[in-house]
């Protein structure tokens, strides 16, 4: 089995990843601003500069530290899918991408794979060298491996609530679960999972069942639903 991905996590819950390349590092997601000093320190320990910043999607927990990262690595090229640009504005992020990602293109060693549903422009990245799938919020591994469209209590409720199209998210998770050569699942939330394909497929099957949320759980999430509904939205 290849080495696990280089993960930096805020409170053990919100992940960013550093991917070594010949010319430096690729940062996948920035997390929120408090995580950025650790990104800078880890890059310095590795003796490499961050050359590229790839966003799986534009939600604040994945892109909120973008301005601070750009300040720390002024020459880094920022890339994301154009369908998620409005999330940067909604999150108060001033930095805009230098390049808009397209499905199928390669950025260094990473292949861009469309994974919409959680957000319209979410993408995943597959490293062909070691089989690491950087899945954004298509899957979580908080407690167990789940598709983001499968309801769960705890912190995992937040990405479930934030998903824009859960049916599409399930279809994207199914496509990712069928990718050949995946040796590591690197989710946006939770610890990386080795040999993940069977667990990913089981998670997709559960999500496809679309079980109703029990009433006692609905009572727990209703305040969160109201808070999410009150967020500013693009017209």
55-72 pLDDT per residue, tens: 999 999 999 999 999 999
| CA 101 vs CA 26, 113, 114, 226: distances in Å | 14, 10, 9, 33
| CA 196 vs CA 178, 179, 180, 181, 202: distances in Å | 11, 11, 11, 10, 10
Q: Report residue 180 as tokens.
A: 């050949």
pTM reported for the whole predicted model: 0.89
What mean pLDDT do residues 214-228 have? 54
- The residue whose two tokens read 């799986």 is 56
Q: Is the pLDDT of residue 235 over 50?
A: no
Burial-class residue 25 by CB neighbours within 10 Å (0-12, 13-18, 19+): buried
Neighbours of 107 (CB within 10 A): 17
Q: Is the pLDDT of residue 1 over 70?
A: no
Domains delineated in the chain: 6-229 (3.60.15.10)
- Residues β-bridged to residue 15: 9
Q: What is the largest CA-CA distance in the chain?
A: 53
What mean pLDDT do residues 32-36 have? 95
Q: Is the pLDDT of residue 37 over 50?
A: yes
Q: What is the pLDDT of residues 183-208, one digit of tens each?
A: 999 999 999 999 999 999 999 999 99
Average pLDDT, the chain: 89
């Amino acid at each position: 089995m290849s080495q696990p991905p280089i993960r930096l996590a805020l409170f053990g819950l919100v992940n960013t990843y550093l991917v070594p390349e010949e010319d430096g590092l690729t940062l996948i997601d920035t997390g929120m601003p408090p995580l950025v000093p650790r990104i800078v320190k880890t890059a310095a320990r590795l003796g490499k500069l961050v050359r590229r910043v790839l966003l799986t999607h534009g939600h604040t927990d994945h892109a909120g530290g973008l301005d601070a990262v750009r300040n720390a690595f002024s020459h880094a090229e920022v890339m994301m899918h154009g369908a998620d640009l409005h999330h940067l504005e909604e999150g108060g992020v001033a930095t805009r991408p230098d390049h808009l990602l397209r499905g199928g293109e390669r950025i260094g060693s990473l292949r861009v794979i469309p994974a919409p549903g959680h957000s319209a422009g979410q993408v995943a990245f597959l490293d062909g060298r070691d089989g690491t799938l950087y899945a954004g919020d298509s899957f979580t591994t908080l407690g167990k491996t789940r598709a983001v469209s499968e309801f769960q209590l705890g912190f995992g409720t937040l990405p479930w609530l934030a998903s824009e199209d859960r049916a599409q998210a399930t279809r994207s998770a199914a496509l990712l679960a069928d990718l050949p050569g995946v040796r590591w699942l690197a989710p946006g939330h939770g610890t990386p999972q080795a040999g993940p394909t069977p667990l990913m497929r089981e998670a997709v099957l559960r999500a496809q069942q679309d079980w109703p949320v029990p009433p006692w759980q609905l009572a727990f999430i209703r305040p969160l639903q109201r808070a999410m509904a009150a967020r500013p939205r693009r017209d």
